[in-house]
Amino acid sequence: MATQVPSRQRTRRFQKETRLGLVRRARRMDRMLAETYPDAHCELNFADPFQLLVATVLSAQTTDSRVNLTTPALFAKYPTPEDLAAADPQEVEELIRPTGFFRAKTKSIIGLAAGLRDRFDGQVPGRLEDLVTLPGVGRKTANVVLGNAFGVPGLTVDTHFGRVARRFGWTAEEDPEKVEQEIAKLFEKRDWTMLSHRLIWHGRRRCHARRPACGACPLAPDCPSYGEGPTDPEVAAKLIRDRSFA
């Protein structure tokens, strides 16, 4: 059978879950994610905090692979915040056009570059409260930069992270900041950045928005949403987008 609604027994099990039980289950699932995706990492290419900041802003509403194809030419022409802050917007628009929403993104990255030049001596600040004052930079982008360029733990709540966390029953919140607050209480701070990578990888590879690969998911025993996608192993395996993790 290709699909299966979660059994009543399974549903009751998660409905009766205590707070301690939730913490233990969440951390057990993270350990399984670590085994499943041992190479999980930020999939944006960057050489320094400035490049990561710009690349993360460009990654909105597009794929990391598309951004990685676009940024080499952008950074070759504008290698520093000072260079990008002084750029002709039309020239920047043409370079980043493939990422979509290129006019709004051009305004954001030129604006953040000017902010770095004028307020931070041309350096990307290593504090969230400073990063979020830059144009186009919210908590998600700030946490990507802090976690991957500065080694400061942060939770990157993008669409994949939020969807997977809700399916796992770790939170019922829809607002990214509230999701971040709730998930932060379940895990040690030191684990936040890698947890983010693992959830995002899982969302991209198995736990898809429309048809999650439930029957090929190693987290199925602990997942209250098991059965939202095909549970037949062969059917589910075909949904995995990266076969190296099958």
Burial grade of 202 (CB within 10 A; 0-12, 13-18, 19 or more): buried
In angstroms, the CA 19 to CA 149 distance is: 33
Could you tell me the pTM of the whole model? 0.90
Give 13-68 as a 3 state SS string.
HHHCCCHHHHHHHHHHHHHHHHHHCCCCCCCCCCCCHHHHHHHHHHCCCCCHHHHH
* Of the candidates 64, 72, 74, the residue with the CA atom closest to the CA atom of residue 96: 74
189 is catalytic: no
Instruction: Return the DSSP state at 92.
Output: H
CB atoms within 10 A of CB 201: 22
* pLDDT tens-place string over residues 57-79: 999 999 999 999 999 999 999 99
* pLDDT tens-place string over residues 201-233: 999 999 999 999 999 999 999 999 999 999 999
Domain 8-36+155-245 CATH assignment equals 1.10.1670.10: yes
pLDDT at 244: 40
- The answer to whether 81 and 118 have CB atoms below 8 angstroms apart is no
Partner residues linked to 103 by β-bridges: none
Question: 230: helix, coil or strand?
Answer: strand
- Mean pLDDT of the residues in the chain: 94
Partner residues linked to 230 by β-bridges: 3
pLDDT at 13: 76
16 is catalytic: no
pLDDT at 80: 98
Which is the catalytic residue, given 16, 121, 140, 232?
140
* pLDDT tens-place string over residues 153-203: 999 999 999 999 999 999 999 999 999 999 999 999 999 999 999 999 999
Residue with tokens 């085994």: 35
Per domain, the residue ranges of the chain are 8-36+155-245, 49-149
In angstroms, the CA 23 to CA 44 distance is: 30
The CATH label, of 1.10.340.30, 3.40.50.300, 3.40.830.10, 1.10.10.10, for the domain at 49-149 is 1.10.340.30
Per-residue pLDDT for 152 more than 60?
yes
Which is the catalytic residue, given 30, 118, 158, 191?
158
In angstroms, the CA 36 to CA 70 distance is: 30
pLDDT at 14: 81
